[in-house]
Structure 1
Amino acid sequence: MSRSVNKQILITSGEPAGIGPDLCLLAAAQNALQDAVVIGCPILFAERAAQLGIDVAQAIYPQRAALTILPLPTRASVTAGELNPANAAYVLNMLRSAATRVSEGEFAALMTAPIHKGVINDSGVTFSGHTEFFQALAEVDKVVMMLACADLRVALVTTHLPLRDVVDAITAEAIRDTVRITEQALRDHFALPKPRIAVCGLNPHAGEQGHLGDEELRVITPTLNALRKQGLDITGPLPADTLFVPRYSDQYDAIIAMYHDQGLPVLKARGFGQAVNITLGLPYIRTSVDHGTALDLAGSGQIDTGSFLAALELAQTLNTDKDKCHG
Structure 2
Amino acid sequence: MKISVIIPVYNAEKYVSKAVESALQFHEVEEVILIEDQSPDNALVICRELALKYNKVKLFQHPGKGNHGAGASRNLGIEKSCCDFIAFLDADDYFLPNRFDAERELFKDPKIEGVFNAIGTEFLTEKGKEDFLLNINDEYLLTVNYPAEGQEVFKGLLGQTPKKFGTFFTLDALTVRKSALEKNRLKFNEELRVHQDSDLIIKLAHHCYLKSGIIDKPVAIRGIHDDNRITKIIKYSPQYNQRQFLFWNSIYKWSRKNRIDPDAKRHISLQKKAFELSGKKGFSKTAALLAAIIKDPKILKTKYRFTYIQF
Q: Give the TM-score normalised by structure 1.
A: 0.29
- Taking CA–CA contacts closer than 8 Å with sequence separation of 6 or more, which of the two structures ends up with the larger relative contact order? 1
